Structure 1
Amino acid sequence: MTSPSPIAKTNRFFYNQKLRYVTGSLIILIFSMALAVMLFFYEIPLPEDKLTLSSIEFSPFEDQNIDNIPAQSWTTITLPDDWRKQGENRASIISGWYRHQIELDAVPVQPLAILIASPRMNVAVYINHNLLGQGGRFTDPVARNWWTPLLFSIPSDILKAGKNTLHIYLKTDRAGIGYLPELHLAPHDSLIKSYDTHYLFRITSVQFITLLLFVQGSIIGILWYLRKHEVYYGYYAVGALLWSWHNLNIFTVHIPVSNILWDWFSYTTLGLCAFIYVIFVHRFFEKKAPNIERVMIIFAILCSGILYFLEGKEFHFIAQTIWYPAAYLAGIYGTLFLAVNAWKYCNTELQIITISAFISMLYAGHDILILHGIIDWKHGYFFQYAALILLPGFTTILLYRFVSALNETENLNRNFDQQLEKKHAELESNHQKIWQLENERARLILDMHDGIGGNLVSTLALIELRQANMQQVAEALRDTLDEIRLMIDSIDIQKNDLTFVLGIFRTRITRKLRNSQIELEWDINDIPSISNFDACKALFLLRILQEAITSAIKKEQVTKIRLSAYLIQQQTEGSAVIIEICDNGKSLDSDDNKARENMHDRARGTDYKLFFESGLSGTTVKLILALDDEQNMLLTDNKKDVF
């Protein structure tokens, strides 16, 4: 039985990894959905001593004058009262009256209050024909309290023992969609806490979410402006801003435009937000789907344009049966596209965003069912709360991408600066090398002209004048060859390495001294490198040493030459390297003086110091090479004693 191939093992590993990822995602999704559904069961936290009014009378009388209501128009109904479910008798009216008899054994000491959680759209409340208050204007555009809880205080002085008549006038913005929830009666001090909690959940939280959406959309829009090539920032910013504008419909009571224009604004902003969401996820994953996007854009333009010119039932029919379902399908597609890519990349952040998107679609589906009257209006819409679930994940990833891009840009800039500095240093180095080569070339030409050329001219003159024998000619040619060797040796030296130069010099003179039967004593101690000791200075040094050795060889009775080099440290004058050439021969004054003049001429082009000591035991040529301040300081810090 053959074992699986490496490719099969690899495929199985990735399959198992993705299977675990999908399983974990499904478990988290189910758990998250269960938590999200709990929001559907939210109830107003009412006090225990509350009285809930569910049985009430209704009159479809549209006159706002309470005294003109016909007695025979009252019918008993049960709250909550959703006009959409009451058939044709409510389909054509935009206002109506509600009445309830409240029995009191005695006038309460504490003031009472009545809480109306979410009337659609506006109400005015009366007790015993006394107006307690109203939610705003009743003229078009009527005040929109469809999401705003209303609390009305009941002064004790208008109540009486026995029957007290409660009247509520309700008016909506269009025919057939009125709604009155259950009424809650309780002492004012205890009921106001319930009102504040419910107002925080219904209004304040949505206002906070809307502000968060607007600020976030603006910030992401600025990021897109800074990085225009990453267009998904722009789509995200537009989507967040559209969502924030749509949320204005939740808590705006007094709208600045007509009802139909406001509804068009509310419908289109949410629908466009869904379509832009699809384009955003395409761009986010760098996927191309031009046909899908083209169809969505054409549909969005045509449908929103048609809605703008429609009014009444036609407008709401198209908006609720075509526009919103299409937007919801676009949202489902975008969420599934997100889920597929999250599974593809097995990314935890994408997993969280995908689960958040599914919860958002759950809330959106719930709201569509509310819109069509399939689910009771009691709890209202929930999609506006999805922003708290969906936005943090998207924002985190977008900001992470932006910061990563900035860091990458900074690294690129830093690397570019480093490369630029490196190239600049290379150019400087090359320029320095070229300059050194030019100087070396000029020096070689000068040396060839003055040294080799001079020797050859002198030799040629001796031959032409026939004043020299062959020995003199040979000696002159040997001097020329020595000059050439010195020039070659000076080219090959390593920078600042005095020991290397002295070693080359030893190689050149050993054979010459052996042929002259002269013993060479070599005493070179550890000596430091010398700053700025270049080829030119090395050539001058070699010429001085060559002149000193040649001068010593010419002396009578010379049998030994000693060449030594050592470091001397002085407190006042600083440290220096001393090179000494000592011989035990007897010098001829004329030759010795000429040699010293030549060596002084060589040393004059450098900062070398040259000294001569002559005695019965022989002659010593001392050459001093001073070290610079930096080398002196280094020697002092290291506390080295060189003898």
Structure 2
Amino acid sequence: MFAHAASAAGAAEACAPRIDTVRAVPAAPGAGPEAPPPIDGWQPVTLPDLWSERWPGFEGTVWYRIDWQRPCAGRDDEPQLGVAFDYLSMAGAISLNDNLLWRDASLVEPLSRSWNTPRVFFLPAAALNPGTNTLWVQVVGGSMYGSGLGRVVLGPADEAVAYHDERRLFARVLPAVNLVMSITLGCFFLVLWLMRRQETAYGWYALSAIAWLVFASNTVVSTLPWPFGSTDAWSRWITAWMVLYVSCFCMFMWHFGDQRFPRLSRVLWAVAALAVAAIALLAQPALSVATLAVFIVYSLLFMAVCVQFILRALDTKKTEHLLLALCAFGFLVAAVHDALMILRVIDDRFGYTVVTAPLIMIGMSLILAGGFTRSLRRVESFNDDLAREVRGARTELADTLSREHRLELDNVRLHERLSVAHDLHDGLGSSLVRSIALVEQSGEALRRPQYLSMFKSLRDDLRQIIDTHSGGAAPVAATPTQWLAPMRHRFGRLFEEMGMRSHWQTPAAWPCALSARQVLGLTRLLEEALANVVKHSRAHTLRVQLMADGEAGVLLSIEDDGVGFDAVAVGSSIGGLGLRSMQARMTRIGGTLQIDAGDGGTRLEARVRAPVAGAGSS
């Protein structure tokens, strides 16, 4: 079986076509695409052929003639023959002997773009000669665009198809995949940048991806260079987008590496503007020189920024920087190889960029997406921490409010106790003092009605205190005289028995409208003051006056000619509860109390302002 397979392989190899010569000749200047190939002037060439090395500056048509033999012509074991072409740059036509196999849509400006399109053809048996056969290849282009003829594989059809499929994968399929990925990732990161303008690296990456999309479309466009009317115009367009791509790529690498070079960035864009202007305005042959210079300069710039970022990543040692530096190293290797291949420094069938670009772009996108994801995680973590802090603050605030509420309740209770104590001291206490003094001053035993009157007075004072602290408010007396009448009646008899003259002066009407609370406060103050006169003053004369104090105030004056006292010393002593109670009471009702005491007597002046309309009183 193995012997049979070996013999079959040997027979197939023996029947393989054999290329004798490959020759080329430029067409006469001005010759159109329909002109026949020249008769003489043919020169031997080696494929792939770049005619700018042989005929610098030539623009027009070059004919290639490939003569080959059929060793097994007419035999039954001769396989189906095929021929595969790497490329024709820029446009062309292919004939077998005198039979046209294929022709581009346009062999005049604007030229069709077959420079990156592999082709394969089955050679029809009817078009083959028994001996020598000739493949005629007509190529139209210019030396500026690397015009010429690529490798040609002539042999069994399955070998030609296999070679073509391999070339098509690298020349057409992978670049198309690269473009689809570029537009997808570019749009994705553009949206991210629009949502988060502070992430400038995303914006520059999106712009570089879009610029790469336009620049790399040159590899997949195989029809007319629409919307441009010439190959030169298309070349200007593509070169300008190369400048923009490299410039945006530099900005992306700098921003991703947390670097800002304001002056260098301005220089970068100024040079980019000059380069684009030169490409747009120069004419041939200066355009060819400018295009080559731009290609070399921006290729070196691309490599330089890759090297710079690698050094930056090694310095920062951040994970995302190191990962992107790995991608930049891949870009660097591919860029160096392909630049040398385009400049014919090295001879290679395949460029590295078409293979590495999709993988590196995926890696760069994953790195950027990872950074975005980490940012989202930080935001989510911050939100969780913030929610936790808010819950803690709310709990602490609730505890504080609860504690303050308890303290406020305790303070209210204490205030009520003090208020009750003051009222008992000033009201019921003064009544008790008055009653005790009345009993002491009475020269004879009091009768039952007198005791009953004293007890009723004490009961009335106690009821007034209870009503005051239970929420009831006694109505304000209609006139100051009615207000003072009960107190004048209670203390008047006592003053007479003590031999003290008392004078009571009141206006016919209230000088201003006082609240019930203020009137009650003045009542308690007056009771305490009169009780102090009875207990301590040993006075002969007492004067009580109520008068207006300005336009909206009341002045209550209590004056005696007794022994007096030291107001400062008594107010700060343990026994000065009455004075402190009077001061506190006046403060609570919005008034003031002034005490003048000395050897000639004591004078108390209590001032109260009428409450402002609409202001509540607690």
The equivalent residue for 1:220 is: 189
Unaligned runs of 5+ in 1: 1-46, 470-643
SS at match of 1:71: coil
The alignment-based identity, stated in percent, is 21
SS at match of 1:98: strand
Q: 1:400 aligns with which of 360, 370, 379?
A: 370
Q: 1:56 aligns with which of 22, 36, 47?
A: 22
The equivalent residue for 1:84 is: 52
The CA deviation at 1:403 is 1.3
Listed one character per residue, the Cα deviations across residues 75-96 of structure 1 (whole Å, up to 9, x for unaligned) are: 43332222022145xx324212
The equivalent residue for 1:198 is: 167
Residues of 2 paired with 1:362 and 1:271: CA distance? 20
Q: 2:61 aligns with which of 95, 111, 116?
A: 95
Listed one character per residue, the Cα deviations across residues 425-468 of structure 1 (whole Å, up to 9, x for unaligned) are: 44444444444444433333444555885599667655654499
The CA deviation at 1:173 is 5.0
TM-score normalised by L of structure 2: 0.61
Matched, 1:310 2:279: no
Matched, 1:350 2:321: yes
Residues of 2 paired with 1:133 and 1:193: CA distance? 20
Residues of 2 paired with 1:176 and 1:246: CA distance? 15
Residues of 2 paired with 1:207 and 1:445: CA distance? 88
Task: Sort the Cα spacing of 1:444 and 1:356 in 2 relative to 1 into closer, same or farther, 3 A.
Answer: closer
Q: 2:39 aligns with which of 71, 77, 89?
A: 71
Matched, 1:180 2:152: no
The equivalent residue for 1:106 is: 73
Task: Sort the Cα spacing of 1:121 and 1:53 in 2 relative to 1 into closer, same or farther, 3 A.
Answer: farther
Listed one character per residue, the Cα deviations across residues 52-94 of structure 1 (whole Å, up to 9, x for unaligned) are: 7472232322646777334224343332222022145xx3242
TM-score normalised by L of structure 1: 0.59
Q: What residue identity is the alignment partner of 1:330?
A: L
The equivalent residue for 2:566 is: none
Answer yes or no: is the 8 Å Cα contact 2:187–2:206 preserved in 1: yes
Residues of 2 paired with 1:389 and 1:92: CA distance? 39
The equivalent residue for 2:360 is: 390
Task: Sort the Cα spacing of 1:50 and 1:60 in 2 relative to 1 into closer, same or farther, 3 A.
Answer: same
The equivalent residue for 2:331 is: 360
The CA deviation at 1:411 is 2.3
Q: What residue identity is the alignment partner of 2:249?
A: Y
Alignment of structure 1 residues 292-441 onto 2, 5 Å: 292-321=264-293, 323-347=294-318, 349-376=320-347, 379=349, 381-441=351-411
The CA deviation at 1:267 is 1.6
The CA deviation at 1:103 is 2.7
Q: 1:145 aligns with which of 114, 131, 138?
A: 114
The CA deviation at 1:253 is 0.8
The equivalent residue for 2:483 is: none
The CA deviation at 1:204 is 0.4
Residues of 1 paired with 2:338 and 2:172: CA distance? 17
Matched, 1:239 2:211: no
The CA deviation at 1:208 is 0.6
SS at match of 1:147: coil
Listed one character per residue, the Cα deviations across residues 541-572 of structure 1 (whole Å, up to 9, x for unaligned) are: xxxxxxxxxxxxxxxxxxxxxxxxxxxxxxxx
Q: What residue identity is the alignment partner of 2:24?
A: F
Q: What residue identity is the alignment partner of 1:214?
A: I
Answer yes or no: is the 8 Å Cα contact 1:217–1:237 preserved in 2: yes
Residues of 2 paired with 1:369 and 1:121: CA distance? 21
Answer yes or no: is the 8 Å Cα contact 2:67–2:132 preserved in 1: yes
Residues of 2 paired with 1:367 and 1:291: CA distance? 31
Answer yes or no: is the 8 Å Cα contact 2:310–2:329 preserved in 1: no
Answer yes or no: is the 8 Å Cα contact 1:246–1:266 preserved in 2: yes
Listed one character per residue, the Cα deviations across residues 559-595 of structure 1 (whole Å, up to 9, x for unaligned) are: xxxxxxxxxxxxxxxxxxxxxxxxxxxxxxxxxxxxx
The CA deviation at 1:127 is 1.5
Residues of 2 paired with 1:287 and 1:443: CA distance? 67
The CA deviation at 1:114 is 0.9
The CA deviation at 1:249 is 0.8
Residues of 2 paired with 1:416 and 1:355: CA distance? 37
Listed one character per residue, the Cα deviations across residues 249-282 of structure 1 (whole Å, up to 9, x for unaligned) are: 1121112123122212222222322222222222
Residues of 1 paired with 2:395 and 2:146: CA distance? 80
Unaligned runs of 5+ in 2: 1-11, 441-618
The equivalent residue for 1:273 is: 245
Alignment of structure 1 residues 490-639 onto 2, 5 Å: none
Residues of 2 paired with 1:423 and 1:235: CA distance? 42
Task: Sort the Cα spacing of 1:132 and 1:173 in 2 relative to 1 into closer, same or farther, 3 A.
Answer: same
Residues of 1 paired with 2:34 and 2:276: CA distance? 42
Alignment of structure 1 residues 2-81 onto 2, 5 Å: 51=17, 53=19, 55-61=21-27, 63=31, 68-81=36-49
Answer yes or no: is the 8 Å Cα contact 2:89–2:114 preserved in 1: yes
Residues of 2 paired with 1:200 and 1:252: CA distance? 15
SS at match of 2:93: strand
Q: What residue identity is the alignment partner of 2:23?
A: E
Matched, 1:209 2:175: no
Answer yes or no: is the 8 Å Cα contact 2:92–2:140 preserved in 1: yes
Answer yes or no: is the 8 Å Cα contact 1:127–1:164 preserved in 2: yes
Task: Sort the Cα spacing of 1:427 and 1:103 in 2 relative to 1 into closer, same or farther, 3 A.
Answer: same
Matched, 1:128 2:93: no
Residues of 2 paired with 1:179 and 1:278: CA distance? 34
Listed one character per residue, the Cα deviations across residues 135-169 of structure 1 (whole Å, up to 9, x for unaligned) are: 44223221222221111222222224223332111
The equivalent residue for 1:507 is: none
Task: Sort the Cα spacing of 1:326 and 1:183 in 2 relative to 1 into closer, same or farther, 3 A.
Answer: closer
Residues of 2 paired with 1:308 and 1:331: CA distance? 22
Task: Name the Cα RMSD after superposition.
Answer: 3.3
Answer yes or no: is the 8 Å Cα contact 1:54–1:79 preserved in 2: no
Task: Sort the Cα spacing of 1:52 and 1:457 in 2 relative to 1 into closer, same or farther, 3 A.
Answer: farther
Q: What residue identity is the alignment partner of 1:282?
A: W
Answer yes or no: is the 8 Å Cα contact 1:106–1:161 preserved in 2: yes
Listed one character per residue, the Cα deviations across residues 332-378 of structure 1 (whole Å, up to 9, x for unaligned) are: 331232122222133455344334323423332333334444344x6
Q: What residue identity is the alignment partner of 2:48?
A: P
Task: Sort the Cα spacing of 1:328 and 1:190 in 2 relative to 1 into closer, same or farther, 3 A.
Answer: closer
Answer yes or no: is the 8 Å Cα contact 2:47–2:151 preserved in 1: yes
Task: Sort the Cα spacing of 1:468 and 1:369 in 2 relative to 1 into closer, same or farther, 3 A.
Answer: farther
Task: Sort the Cα spacing of 1:68 and 1:193 in 2 relative to 1 into closer, same or farther, 3 A.
Answer: closer
Listed one character per residue, the Cα deviations across residues 168-219 of structure 1 (whole Å, up to 9, x for unaligned) are: 1111256784211232122324422332222112210111112112211211
Q: What residue identity is the alignment partner of 1:240?
A: A
The CA deviation at 1:312 is 2.6
Q: What residue identity is the alignment partner of 1:409?
A: V
257-266 vs 353-362, greater mean Cα deviation:
353-362
Q: What residue identity is the alignment partner of 2:120?
A: L
Answer yes or no: is the 8 Å Cα contact 1:80–1:181 preserved in 2: yes
Largest Rg, 1 or 2: 2
Q: What residue identity is the alignment partner of 2:201?
A: Y
333-342 vs 102-111, greater mean Cα deviation:
102-111
Task: Sort the Cα spacing of 1:319 and 1:296 in 2 relative to 1 into closer, same or farther, 3 A.
Answer: same
Residues of 2 paired with 1:305 and 1:194: CA distance? 42
